Amino acid sequence: MARNSFTTSLLLTLTIFITITISSSHQPLALKPKPQFFGKFASSTNHSHSHQQSNFHYETRFFQQQLDHFSFKKSPKFPQRYLINTDNWVAGSGPIFLYCGNEGDIVWFAQNTGFVWEIAPRFGAMVVFPEHRYYGESVPFGSKEAAYKNASMLGFLNAEQALADFAVLITDLKQNLSAEACPVVLFGGSYGGMLAAWMRLKYPNIAIGALASSAPILQFEDIVPLETFYDIVSNGFKRESSTCFNYIKQSWDEIESKGQTTDGLDFLTKTFNFCQKLKSTGDLWGWLESAYSYLAMVNYPYPSEFLMPLPGNPIKEVCRRIDGGPTGTSILERIYEGVNVYYNYTGEIKCFELDDDPHGLSGWDWQACTEMVMPMSCSKESSMYPPYEYNYSSFEEDCFKKFGVKPRPRWITTEFGGHNIHKVLKHFGSNIIFSNGLLDPWSGGSVLQDISESIVSLVTKEGAHHIDLRASTKNDPDWLVNQRATEIKLIQGWINDYYQESQAVYEVKIPSSLSKILSSLSKIIGF
Ligand SMILES: *[C@@H]1O[C@H](CO)[C@@H](O)[C@H](O)[C@H]1NC(C)=O
Ligand SMILES: *[C@@H]1O[C@H](CO)[C@@H](O)[C@H](O)[C@H]1NC(C)=O
Ligand SMILES: *[C@@H]1O[C@H](CO)[C@@H](O)[C@H](O)[C@H]1NC(C)=O
Ligand SMILES: *[C@@H]1O[C@H](CO)[C@@H](O)[C@H](O)[C@H]1NC(C)=O
Ligand SMILES: *[C@@H]1O[C@H](CO)[C@@H](O)[C@H](O)[C@H]1NC(C)=O
C-alpha cells in the first residue's frame, strides 16, 4: 500500500485531460497527503523474484465469484484468482492458512509473505492466497478498462465485498476438498492485515484467528493524531542524521523556487534525470515524498526487494549519500544522490519515469476516495515535509472530480469499529495478533497494546512494514526470530483449542457406546 501523499496536481495528472488544466493554472503548492500503502513508484523495474520463487510453489486456480454479495439482483460473476498449495496439508483435518489478498497482484504478495509458506509444513497446513477483487487478474466485467471505467463499474470494489469473497471462496473450497472440519487461520499484511483482523471479527464462523501485521485499522477519522504517519517517516531519517533530516526539510522550498519558470523546471528535470520534462514541481514533490515514505516502510535490516531492490537499513544509506556530498554540493544534488538509493540502487535505470504502476495498484485511489479515508497532516515542527493541514473539503472535491463520488469518511468505523477499540473489543472477539514494527509509519495507526488475553499486540522497536510476514533470512535479528516464534506459538494455541473443543463436542454429541451402536446400525440399515 504505498503512495502516502500527493499533491493535488499529482493526483490529477492521472488523467491527461486534467494534466493540461493543471499545467496551465498555477495552483498553490501543498503536499496533500493521500495515503496509499503501496502505490505508484513502488517499483520502476521488473526485477525478477527468481531466487525467492524457489521457496514455494502453488497451483493457480480461478473461482467464479459473485460480483455483488449484498443484492439479490442478477449480477454477473467474475473470475477470482487464487493460489493454492496442499502439499503439506493433512487432508481432511489440517488447518487452512488463508492470506487475505490486498490491493495488488496476489503473486507479488505471495512472494513477499514467505512466513506463511515456511510455517505451513509444521502445521500440516494448506496455503491459500485469494486475490482481492479488481486487482491482478481478478477483474470483473471482462477487462480492467471496463471495470475501472466509472463509478458504477467500480462500485463493487470495497472491503465488505472483498471479505465476503474470501468467506464464500473458502467455504466452497472446503466443501470441494471435504475439509469442512479444518480450522482456517487468517494472515494479512498492511491493508491485507486490516482485512484479516476485520474478517476474524466479522466471520468468526469462518476463521479461528488472524495474524494482522502492520494493519492500521485506527488510521481513520481522528482516532490517532493526523501527523503520526509523517512524523514516523521523518523520525526514521532524523534518527540516522539530523543534517540529513534538515537537508530534506530545506529541499522543498528550493524545488519550489526553482520550479517557478520553465527553465527552472528544465533544470529540475535534468538534475533528477527524468525521462520526460517535469510539468510541475508538484510531480517532483510527490515522487520524493513517495520515496521517503516507502523507504520508511521497507527500512528492513537486511537487503530486500519488496518495493525496490534495496540495501539493508536503506535510510541509513540514503542519509549517508545526502550528507556525504563534498562541500559545495547543492541541496538538490544531495537529494538526487539520496533518492537514487530508492529508485536506482542497482544503477540500471537510465532515466526516471513519473508514471509507473508495475503492480497494478491503481484501484486504491478509488478505495481511498470512497471508504478508506485516512486523514493525514504534516507537522510544521516535527516533520521533514512541508507543513500541511488535512482539509477534508478539498479531499472530497478531488475525489468528486476524479470519480464523481463523495467519500464516506465515517463508514469504516461504523462498519468495523475503531473508536475506543480497547473498550469495545475487551469483551468481544478473540484470537487476533496485531504485529507492528515501530519504524513503520503505518504502526502509528495500528493497535500497539494488548486488548485482551487473546487479542494481543506484538511490537518490535526495530521492525518495519510487516517484516514478520517476510521469509526468514540468515540475517534475521534476534528480535525478529523471537517475534515469529511468538506468533507461531499463539497460532498453535488457537489450533489446539479448536481441535480440543471439536473433540469435546464430538464426544458429548456421540458418546462412544452410542457411536458403536450407531455404526453397527448404519451397517445394517445403510446410512
Ligand atoms: C516481468 O518479468 C516477467 C518474468 O521475467 C515477465 O513474464 C513479465 O512479462 C514481465 N512484466 C513486465 C510488465 O515487463
Ligand atoms: C458506466 O459505464 C457503463 C458501461 O459503459 C454504463 O452502462 C453506465 O451507465 C456508466 N455509468 C455511469 C454512472 O456513467
Ligand atoms: C469447487 O468445485 C466446483 C465444481 O468443480 C468448481 O466450479 C469450483 O470453482 C470449485 N471451488 C473452488 C473454490 O475452487
Ligand atoms: C543510476 O545509477 C547509475 C550508476 O550510478 C547512473 O549511471 C545512472 O545515471 C543512474 N540513473 C539515473 C536515472 O539517475
Ligand atoms: C479547504 O479546501 C476547500 C476546498 O478546496 C477550500 O475552499 C478551503 O479554503 C480549504 N480550507 C483551508 C483551511 O485551507
**How far, in Å, is the centroid of ligand 1 from the Cα of 45?**
10
Q: What is the pLDDT of residue 2?
A: 44
Maximum Cα–Cα distance across the chain: 95
Q: Give the pLDDT confidence score for residue 34 in this predicted structure.
A: 57
> Mutate which of 141, 152, 156 to test ligand 2's pocket (most atoms within 8 Å of Cβ)?
152
pLDDT at 306: 86
pLDDT at 307: 84
Centre of ligand 4 to C-alpha 250, Å, is 24
Cα 380 to middle of ligand 5, angstroms: 18
Q: List the pLDDT tens digit at each of the 527 positions of the chain.
A: 444 443 333 332 222 222 222 232 333 445 565 556 665 555 434 444 444 444 689 999 999 999 999 999 988 999 999 999 999 999 999 999 999 999 999 999 999 999 999 999 999 999 999 999 999 999 999 999 999 999 999 999 999 999 999 999 999 999 999 999 999 999 999 999 999 999 999 999 999 999 999 999 999 999 999 999 999 999 999 999 999 999 999 999 999 999 999 999 999 999 999 999 999 998 899 899 999 999 999 999 999 988 889 999 999 999 999 999 999 999 999 999 999 999 999 999 999 988 765 555 579 999 999 999 999 999 999 999 999 999 999 999 999 999 999 999 999 999 999 999 999 999 999 999 999 999 999 999 999 999 999 999 999 999 999 999 999 999 999 999 999 999 999 999 999 999 999 887 766 655 566 666 656 666 665 55
* Residues labelled catalytic: 190, 440, 465
Closest C-alpha to ligand 1, atom 2:
46
- DSSP string over 456-477: EEEEETT--TTGGGSPP-TT--
State the pLDDT at residue 5.
40
Predicted local distance difference test score (pLDDT) of residue 525: 58
In this structure, what DSSP letter does residue 442 have? Answer: G
Distance from C-alpha of 159 to C-alpha of 157, rounded to nearest angstrom = 7
| Mutate which of 75, 150, 402 for ligand 2 pocket (most atoms within 8 A of beta carbon) | 150
CA of 394 to the centre of ligand 5 (A): 6
Ligand 3, CB within 6 Å, residue ranges: 61, 63, 169, 172-173, 176
Burial profile 494-507: b = 16 or more Cβ within 10 angstroms, e = fewer: bbebbeeeeeeeee
C-alpha distances in Å from residue 491, one per residue of 208, 343, 360: 9, 37, 32
Name the residue among 25, 35, 32 with its Cα closest to residue 2.
35
What is the pLDDT, as a whole number, of residue 26?
34
Interval between CA 152 and ligand 2 midpoint (Å): 6
150 lines ligand 2 (CB under 6 A): yes
Which H/E stretch holds residue 506?
Answer: helix 478-509
Nearest CA to ligand 1 atom 12: 46
Which one of the ligands is nearest to 346 CA?
4
* Candidate from 45, 46, 356, 357 with most ligand 1 atoms within 8 A of CB, to mutate: 46
Strands (DSSP E) found in 178-268: 184-189, 209-213
Q: What's the predicted TM-score (pTM) here?
A: 0.88
Residue 53 and residue 34 in contact, taking contact as beta carbons nearer than 8 Å: no
What number does the ligand 3 atom closest to the CA of 175 have? 1
Measured distance CA(499)–CA(507) in Å, rounded: 12
Q: How far apart are CA 51 and CA 28, in angstroms?
A: 46
Ligand nearest to the CA of 345: 4
CA 393–ligand 2 middle distance (angstroms) = 26
Give dist(CA 52, CA 39) in Å, integer: 22
Q: Is the CB of 55 under 6 A from ligand 2?
A: no
